[in-house]
Each structure stands twice: as structure tokens, then as C-alpha cells.
Structure 1
Amino acid sequence: MAKKKEVTVEERLRALYDLQLIDSRIDEIRNVRGELPLEVRDLEDEVAGLSIRLEKLVASLAVVDNDIAGKKNLIQESNNLIVKYSEQQKNVRNNREFNSLTKEIEFQELEIQLAEKHIKEFKAQIEQKKAVISETKGRLKERENHLKHKKGELNDILAETEKEEQALIEKSETYKTQIEERLVAAYNRIRKNVKNGLAVVPIERGASGGSFFTIPPQVQVEIASRKKVITDEHSGRILVDAVLAEEQKAKMEKLFSKL
């Protein structure tokens, strides 16, 4: 593996601040998208859940319809038996046989009453299920429309920013190869641990950008000399002087305008 070209501390600081500006630009693009990707995923999950619920409700209607058909068949069978037993009563030889058939007829009449009661309950269930199905269909349609709208928003933003974001990601990776690994590792670690992902900040009005803790004059002189990498003792951020920061911002703005 080829050894990296030796660079000065100032060149490292410039490269680090350039990297910060690129990554901050990527952050801005992603912030524009905000919570939209999560909203779209949540809506997709909700629509899928409602669709499954609707399918189950419709399937349960078919089950209840089958139950009603079963009870109607039972009523028909009971009616047939009542006719049969009534005919048999005309030819009985004694009261015991007559009473036995009477009990069978009464039993079938009770079976019919019970089946009719169940049919009534099943029909009430059907009405309830139809109301829930109607409500679920309405909710599903409303969520599908909302999802379509949110997807449209997201696609519009992606169309505007995806190309630039990808180009910036590639630039970020390229710039990282120009900085020694230990500094890149430190930069990445600081970025994860500080607000707004600002790992490299300029001195602004005598204070560390992003944390606003005053930097002692002697340390400001050291930072401006660009002889070593200095971090803010309060936030851990890498510090650069305002002049270097403005020069690199002007340079990177030209780069961003081309993207």
C-alpha cells in the first residue's frame, strides 16, 4: 500500500474543515427530508395492517354466513323430523309410543327455536362486522391517500437532492483518504458525540463555535498559527481560526454550486 504524502498541520486543518463543510451539507440535505422517510414507512406499515384486518373481517363474514346456512339446514331437518314424527303418531299402538314421539317433536321444536336464536345472533354479528368493515375501508382509503401524498413529497425532495447527496458522500469519502486515519477516526468520534455533528468549528468572537465557551487569548494565538491540531477542552471539537474557516467556506461554496 502506497504511503500517504506528508502534509503540514495547516493542510490537515483545511482538509478537516473541508470535510466538515461537506458532511454538514449532507446533514442539511437529510434534514430537509426530516422525518418523511419514517412517516412513509409507518404509513406503509399501517396500510398493510389495515389491509390484513380488512381481509380477516371479510373472511369472518363468510364464516358467519356458513354458520347461518348450517342453522337453516338444521331447522329444515328438524321440520322434516317433526312431519315424520307427526305422521308416525297417527299409527301408534299405545300411549307410550305416542308420548315418546311427542317428546321427539318437542325436542325438534326446541332445536328450531335455538337455531333461530343463533341465526338472529349471527345476523347481529354480521351487521357489527359490516359496520367495522365500512369503518376500516374508510380508514384504509384515508391512509392510502395520505401515504400517496407523503410519498409524492418524499419523491420530490429525493429528486431534488439525491444526486447532490450522492456526489457529496463520494466527496466526503475522497477527502477522508487525504487525512490520516487517526484524525478521521477522531473526527468521526467527535461528530457522533456533539450537537449538530459539528466536529470542526472556527473561533467566533473569541469563543468556540457551537459551544460558546471563551477560548483563552494564548490558545487563540496557537490556533491561528496552525502549527498543531487543538481541541476545545469543553466540547472536544477541533478548532480552526476564523480566517481559515472563511477561506475554506468560499472554496467549498464553489464546489457545492457545481454539484
Structure 2
Amino acid sequence: MTNVLVCVKRAPDITGEVLLTPDGTGLDGRYSGYAISAHEECAVEIAVGIAEATDGSVTVLTLGGEEAVEQLRNALAVGAHDAVHLLAEADRFGPADVAAAIADLVRVREGDGTAYDLVLVGNDAADTGDFQVGIRLAYALDRPVVAGAQRIEVAGGVATMHVGSAEGSETYEVGLPAVATVLEGGVTPRYPSIKGRMRAKKAPVETVAPAVEPRGTGALGLRLPPPPPSQVTVLGEGPGAAPALVAVLREIGVVS
């Protein structure tokens, strides 16, 4: 039986246009909406798969304001069993603070008799691009960590983690308990069923106050890169544009 803790973060949906807040210190999600990253969606899927294969359980955790309950319930709807909400102002917590808060909760749960064999986090934060929480968390808990895992299987107290790279794939066998940062692409997140959505609406969410006093990120602000230049060439109008279009198609190799 493997108990998995999955850590997710409510962040502006970056699949559309990215806007900054008026003070330039974060992303503005008023128009794009909020979600968890694709990495974290895959982490939830991996955790649910491990729990199903080992008769274990999945607890999903987030640190944020009251509105972050939405992301917890979304994870409950696709198979997570329990949810823990570290209620706090997420903007005040840097990656070191977040890792410390998660580590503190893991230790408290272990003292109470609930041990998490595997802790999964997204490979990086969707809004700030931090690649730190998973590594810092592993050091704080004194556990082995694998970064960029795309598939994970657990058997006999050992996690087999598959990492993809430009040079091919690598496989690591790590004794539990362990930490992994999950990179999207190895699994396909499932969609919530109607039954799952109904269960998630009624499921209790445990609220906990973080014991960590945050120090913040130290970042002064964010800056968006300039949009890539675009150029439009008018080939013509009506039937007269056909020869020019054919010439362009031949130039790029679409037709011979």
C-alpha cells in the first residue's frame, strides 16, 4: 500500500494571453482563469495510478487563499482521496517557504501515524517558473529525489521513475520514501466523471495554518518578453492570386 502526497498550486491559466498584475509582481488571472499546471495534472494522474495499483491512497495539498479549494476539489474529482489546504497568502511565500511548509506538514503527519511514501510536485511553477520546491523539499525531509519524472511505478518499497530527455530516456530505482518532480508528457490526465464531481463537492477539505513564517521570494518584479515580430505578404486578390499562391507552395515544398 503506497500513500502519495501530491502538491499543486493555483495559478493563472497560461494557455492564453499572459498578463501581469498592475504592480508587475505576478501574473494576472482575472481574464484567463485559474488552474494547476500540466505538470501537476500529470502528477495527480500518476499518484492515482499508483494508489490503484497498490491499494494505497492519494492526498492532494495546496498552499493558497480560500479560492484554492477549487483546485483541490478538481483533484478529488479525478481520484484523490483526501485534501489538505494550507490556508495562507500564496504571494507571501517563496519556493523555500513553500518547501518548508510542506515538509513541516509531512513531519507532523508522520508523528500522528500518517506517513507519505511518495511526495510529488510539479516540475516547475506555472506562474513564476521556479524549479526549486521539489529539490528543497527533498533536502528538508532528507529523502532521495528524482527531477523530471514522467512515469512512476511502485513495487516492493521501490519507485521506478522514468525520465525523458533530448538524448533518450533514463530510469531510476529509488527506495521509498522519496520525492519526485513530475514533468508532463508521460501520462494522459483523466477527465472527471459525473460521479467524481459529485463526490468532490461533498468531500471534506482539511484546513491547516502553515507553521512557517514566510520570507518571500526576493523578486522585485516580472517582465514579459516583447511579442515576436510578424509580417504579412498580400499575394493578390481573387483568381489573380492563384499563381502567386502556387509559387509559394512550391517554394516551401508542399507541391512539386
State the TM-score, normalizing by the size of structure 2: 0.23
Structure with greater helix share of residues: 1
Structure with greater strand share of residues: 2
The structure with the larger Rg is 1
State the TM-score, normalizing by the size of structure 1: 0.22
Structure with more contact order per residue of length (Cα contacts < 8 Å, sep ≥ 6): 1
